[in-house]
Amino acid sequence: MVKSQPIPIRAGLYIGLMSGTSVDGIDAAIVRLRSAGDGLKASVLAHHQQAWPPELRKRLLAVMAPAKTATAEICELNMLTAREFAGTVNNIVQKAGVDKSKIIAIGSHGQTICHLPPSSPLRSGSTLQIGDNTVIAAMTGICTVGNFRPADMALGGQGAPLVPLVDKLLLTHSKRTRCIQNLGGIANVTYLPPRGATREIMAFDTGPANMLMDAFVTLSTGGRMTYDKDGRLAAAGRIYKPLMRKLEAMPYFHLAPPKSTGRELFGEPLARAMMKQFRNVSCPDLLATALELTAWSITECYRGYLPQPPQEVILCGGGADNPVLVDRLRTYLTILQCYQVRNISEYGIISQAKEALSFAVLAALTLQRIAGNIPAATGAQYPVVLGSVATPTAGRKQS
């Protein structure tokens, strides 16, 4: 029997930062990491979600693809976004009462404003996350790792999803096949065979989770609401079958992995187009249909692309706290005989903190020059160290 080798990360405290495609807030998590056999142990010591200032959120949404935006606006937003990330770090450290000098590094996803996966031999992939990690390092006094996606894309990968290796290190079971199903703006899945199995990990974006629902709510209410709290509006609506058929026919759902997507395909432009075509459909019916699309598309991806149905599905992300979505997804997965559907909080990880935790782990891996991508998931030619490292500016002590 070959003895497993520990992951040679530096044990201690890290901070992870995440703002997703919904731009609903910055999640920060202070995490204690240590090696455990051939995996990792992670404890979330503190979690804080800081809302974007309304005007800044409006500006961020306005520059996101497919918008045509002046470079000066992107340039300014890059700095403003980084300052907001740095402020979030300073806030969580102060609230948690943690000595900032004890934090080894920050892992920052940044704010994606455009993500264009490779679609043909004529178009290589490209991606842009703003919120410069050098600014975060300067304003916090903490080493900051960011810009994780481009290295994978340089090698032909999708640059997404980035968390499968983290899922493997934290959540692989000795005997059970698991799917870690994230329900953020976009839904993505990591398929984890049992520890020691010969099958490879799979991971890909299944389609929208909350993004299309959020867009329908925002447009229908003129911005008075930006999301459907607890799925209440969707629960009051009915699935509008002509719209459902139109959405089901979208080519993305019929692409084989590796694949990734985002606001460019499933954001506000799609919602506007569907509302224009189906003018008389009520907001609750739009939401019921979009919620159904999320549950259907996840299940269809499991059915069509996974080697076998998982024995256990672990839900995380904001959608994992939507009881209507979870109930509908559970109903679909039962048809595949996936009877164990649980929230990641049952495994000691705060659902909303999962992605921030993941980028703390990726930062730890980058600092040790350990590859952070899984080529079977992203399509990259080979494993590569992800991200760039910014060291804090020397000088006065940061507050």
Convert the pLDDT of each residue in 5-49 to its tens digit: 678 899 999 999 999 888 889 999 999 999 988 889 999 999 999
pLDDT (0 to 100) of residue 55: 95
For the segment 38-87, what is each residue's pLDDT rounded down to a tens digit?
889 999 999 999 999 999 999 999 998 777 778 999 999 999 999 999 99
pLDDT (0 to 100) of residue 104: 98
pLDDT (0 to 100) of residue 327: 98
Tell me if domain 12-160+353-390 and domain 164-351 are identical in fold. Answer: yes
CATH 3.30.420.40 fits 164-351, yes or no: yes
pLDDT at 195 over 70: yes
- On whether the CB atoms of residues 242 and 278 are closer than 8 A, the answer is yes
CATH superfamily entry for domain 12-160+353-390: ATPase, nucleotide binding domain (3.30.420.40)
For the segment 149-187, what is each residue's pLDDT rounded down to a tens digit?
999 999 999 999 999 999 999 999 999 999 999 999 999
pLDDT at 122 over 80: no
**How confident is the prediction for the chain on average, in pLDDT?**
93
pLDDT tier, 2 (very low <50, low <70, confident <90, very high otherwise): very low
pLDDT tier, 121 (very low <50, low <70, confident <90, very high otherwise): low
Q: Which two tokens stand for residue 314?
A: 């672990």
Calculate mean pLDDT across residues 117-138: 86
Residue 64 DSSP class: S
Calculate mean pLDDT across residues 378-393: 94
- The structural domains of the chain, with segments of one domain joined by +, span 12-160+353-390, 164-351
Burial degree of 285 (CB within 10 A; 0-12, 13-18, 19+): buried
pLDDT at 396 over 70: no
User: Sheet containing 186-192: which strands, arranged edge to edge?
Assistant: 202-208, 186-192, 178-183, 312-316, 341-343
Distance separating alpha carbons of residues 390 and 292, to the nearest angstrom: 43
Calculate mean pLDDT across residues 284-299: 98
